[in-house]
Structure 1
Amino acid sequence: MSHDNLKVFPSVRERYDSLVQAGDIAADPAQEQLADRFDRLIRELATKRLATKSSALGWLFSRRSPRHEIIKGLYIFGEVGRGKTMLMDMFHQLVPAKRKRRAHFLDFMADVHERINAHRKAHKNGETKQDDPIPPVADALAEQAWVLCFDEFTVTDIADAMILSRLFRALFERGVVLIATSNVEPDNLYRDGLNRQLFLPFIDLLKTHVDVVNLDARTDYRLEKLNRMPVYLSPLSDATKQGMDEAWHTATEGAAVSEDHFKVKGHNVMVPRAARHAARFGFADLCSKPLGALDYAAIIARYQTIFIDDVPILDYARRNEAKRFIILIDILYDHHVHVVISAAASPDKLYEAKRGTEAFEFDRTASRLFEMQSEEYLSEAAQAQEMPISSEA
């Protein structure tokens, strides 16, 4: 197959232009440039893989690139709602590689920690002589996918920060190509984190293996598309509670309601009210308890509609709850879960603190809460309910 034969695959730019022509999005020069950049990356991946394989399709299936060859991925940062995820998803759909993976970054890191813990347990039990879990974990991840697409690349957890440099050095050595979206440029990752100096080598490594692109689009398309639906009720009042109860009755079709309990990594997760495919929580049930990304993923693997009552206005003193709420909304959004929320204020007024990483991160959460009320998101959520959701990353 010649280089020109790659045109048989639809390009990111062609897909983008078709959305513009259909009136689904407005044309934007910055987004057009990024679409073209993704197409150049697809051609570069194809050209370099073809150059190292005797088979014309060998680049799709090779386990790793030669170690001296660096295929630079893309790290796209910019403010919320600029189209980063939309364009990366187009790339992921169109790049003709069978071993590719698209994940929310927090889901991916939860998977990594689970693999590391499993390896350490195997070593302790004498099932392997390899005491360092990073090489075998990197082998398994690279075998699964050599094109990795991450949405919302962010580092706030010290456990993640301390392993990223070694993990990604091993992945890059195995020919993995990284594409990521983020709200922050690489130099601001883990900005106020504990022992940040130990994290800095990862930033240098990252910038060696990706081209950094600032998507400076002209407007927030998510808010342009906003179409408010009765799935976010505020402020808190008797009328709000009645609205939540009516929506719950509709979602459960009057089915019997009961508690649900299940285990995640050895600890118990409790669902206060569950019926059919819907689960209902108070804010405190989800965010005041020591729950994390794996717990939230396990919940949405069991329930397709999530109700969250009584989200309060948060401040710096409740930053741990705010951090859990940020992670929760990221996972609900990424999996297109139908969510009904009652809250003390509109999304952009829910976090009052002006300092700390949570204040910075909450801008994304507010934008997503707005979008989760739109007709488009609700339509995607309805389609997602037709397919099972895996709790695995």
Structure 2
Amino acid sequence: MTSRIRSAYDIRIEEGVIAPDPAQEPLIAAMERLEEDLARRGLFGGLPEVRGLYIWGPPGRGKSMLMDLFVTSTPEPKRLRAHFHAFMARIHDLVRQWREGDAKTRKAVFGTHKGDDPIPPIAALIASEARLLCFDELQVTDIADAMILGRLFEALFEKKVVLAVTSNRAPDQLYLNGINRQLFVPFIEQIEARCEVVSLTGERDWRLHRLTGGKVWFSPVDETARQGFEDLWSDLRGGEPEEPAHLTVLGRDVVVERTAGSMARATFAELCGRPLGPQDYLAIAERFHTLFLEDVPLLSPANQQEARRLVTLIDALYEAGARLVTLAAAAPEALYPEGVGAFEFERTASRLNEMQAADWMTRERSV
């Protein structure tokens, strides 16, 4: 009998949404194994321990797309699909609620638990919500995350929670050279013991292949340009669902409403029309390898504040080596034609032109 993940994958190929890639076959096989194991039941109907999946490899090989297919096709009813950073933001908030709450408040959120350690009640709460935890883009750079992960997942695994995760790094390369990394090593050991590690390192970067040599600047904003912009977004998404992403920046919640894996899409008004600053744009550039920016208007002294934010955004993307697809009123050199600020914008226009080149698309990201 054909597995659900195999059927979903074959249907996508038949519909032309994705192209077959032999490098993805070992991962499909591993997902079939996980699907079968999740369906098993132990003695007297109990849940057996199930080995999860840790999927790693460079961007553009189909990790997020296949994870989405697995999540939507698995019959496991108690499943949670989340971006890793959003999950950890929730964990830290639960830690805060536990530490700041009195006995009555703690019981209302976590149920009855003894002691003052927040990890066991948090693990119990997560386990009650999901048997299968699916994370995209596991990347540990925050010492607060690093310090909590080992104990949290030890408690989750004890409750037979199953982990399926994607990452650009092999397990032993996580939090490399991080502060107090020796305290993080137990988490790596748990991942390697509790998960099947599968590398997806095919030679072809499907998203990069679609971008390299293709049009990434669409102007002016007419029906033809908008359709080209929309078609490229749809093509690169490859059927991945859109969802909002929450970035924690200096204690604030910065929301990017339309994201798919490591790609984000936003309007000029959303990113430059509100008071975002350098740290916000740096967080966006770090989190997403490709930004689709639409409806960039002509710039002038009348919208100089928005223009300055655009300059800061482009600088952050440029320094991070991120890719940019733009729907704008004019070509970069004609976006800010005259007036105060036009001369300063010439440097940004130069960067925008550089970021359209094929060799930009193939350069290695710096974050």
TM-score, normalized by length of structure 1?
Answer: 0.60
Determine the C-alpha separation between the residues in 2 that align with 1:106 and 1:203.
17
Letter in 1 for 2:63: K
- For residue 340 of structure 1, report the CA deviation from its aligned partner: 5.9
Aligned to 1:13: 6
Give the secondary structure class of the aligned counterpart of 2:163: strand
Letter in 2 for 1:88: M
Percent identity (aligned): 38
Letter in 1 for 2:95: I
Asked if 1:80 corresponds to 2:67, the answer is no
Determine the C-alpha separation between the residues in 2 that align with 1:293 and 1:218.
39
Asked if 1:155 corresponds to 2:140, the answer is yes
Letter in 2 for 1:16: Y
- For residue 186 of structure 1, report the CA deviation from its aligned partner: 0.6
What do residues 32-90 of structure 1 show as CA deviations (whole Å, max 9, x unaligned)? 2211220111011112x2x3344xxxxxxx7xx4xxx5311110100011000111111
Letter in 1 for 2:61: R
Greater displacement, 80-89 / 31-40? 31-40
Determine the C-alpha separation between the residues in 1 that align with 2:182 and 2:283.
25
- For residue 175 of structure 1, report the CA deviation from its aligned partner: 0.7
Contact 1:296 1:328 in 2 (8 A): no
1:174 to 154, 159, 169: 159
Determine the C-alpha separation between the residues in 2 that align with 1:343 and 1:207.
43
- For residue 21 of structure 1, report the CA deviation from its aligned partner: 2.5
Asked if 1:96 corresponds to 2:75, the answer is yes
Give the secondary structure class of the aligned counterpart of 2:82: strand
Contact 1:30 1:215 in 2 (8 A): yes
2:182 to 197, 220, 234: 197
- For residue 293 of structure 1, report the CA deviation from its aligned partner: 8.2
Contact 2:80 2:134 in 1 (8 A): yes
Change (3 A) 1:122 1:321: closer
Determine the C-alpha separation between the residues in 2 that align with 1:188 and 1:72.
21
- For residue 326 of structure 1, report the CA deviation from its aligned partner: 3.5
Determine the C-alpha separation between the residues in 2 that align with 1:322 and 1:195.
28
Q: What are the within-5 Å matches in structure 2 for residues 158-307 of structure 1?
A: 158-226=143-211, 228=215, 230=217, 291=249, 295-297=253-255, 300=257, 305-307=266-268
Aligned to 1:46: 39
Contact 1:154 1:190 in 2 (8 A): yes
- Which structure 1 residue ranges, 4+ long, deviate > 4 Å from structure 2? 123-129, 227-231, 320-323, 337-349
Aligned to 1:278: none
Letter in 2 for 1:17: D
Determine the C-alpha separation between the residues in 2 that align with 1:13 and 1:328.
30
Change (3 A) 1:194 1:96: same
- For residue 141 of structure 1, report the CA deviation from its aligned partner: 0.5
What do residues 89-112 of structure 1 show as CA deviations (whole Å, max 9, x unaligned)? 111111111110000000000011
Determine the C-alpha separation between the residues in 1 that align with 2:315 and 2:33.
38
Asked if 1:144 corresponds to 2:103, the answer is no
Letter in 1 for 2:79: K
Change (3 A) 1:74 1:373: farther
Aligned to 1:272: none
- For residue 29 of structure 1, report the CA deviation from its aligned partner: 1.0
Letter in 2 for 1:24: V
Change (3 A) 1:170 1:339: farther
- For residue 201 of structure 1, report the CA deviation from its aligned partner: 1.1
| Count of aligned residue pairs for this structure pair | 272
Letter in 2 for 1:117: R
Contact 2:39 2:76 in 1 (8 A): no
1:324 to 280, 283, 304: 283
Asked if 1:25 corresponds to 2:18, the answer is yes
Contact 2:293 2:326 in 1 (8 A): no
Change (3 A) 1:346 1:324: closer
RMSD: 3.7
Letter in 2 for 1:121: E
Contact 2:53 2:197 in 1 (8 A): yes
Determine the C-alpha separation between the residues in 1 that align with 2:209 and 2:15.
16
Determine the C-alpha separation between the residues in 1 that align with 2:252 and 2:78.
24
Contact 1:12 1:36 in 2 (8 A): no
Determine the C-alpha separation between the residues in 2 that align with 1:306 and 1:81.
24
Contact 1:134 1:166 in 2 (8 A): yes
TM-score, normalized by length of structure 2?
Answer: 0.64
Determine the C-alpha separation between the residues in 2 that align with 1:120 and 1:216.
43
Determine the C-alpha separation between the residues in 2 that align with 1:165 and 1:200.
8
Determine the C-alpha separation between the residues in 1 that align with 2:43 and 2:315.
51
Determine the C-alpha separation between the residues in 2 that align with 1:188 and 1:326.
21
Determine the C-alpha separation between the residues in 2 that align with 1:323 and 1:346.
10
Give the secondary structure class of the aligned counterpart of 1:43: helix
1:121 to 79, 100, 116: 100
Contact 1:110 1:293 in 2 (8 A): no
Give the secondary structure class of the aligned counterpart of 1:20: helix
Contact 2:137 2:167 in 1 (8 A): yes
Greater displacement, 13-22 / 33-42? 13-22
Change (3 A) 1:101 1:292: farther
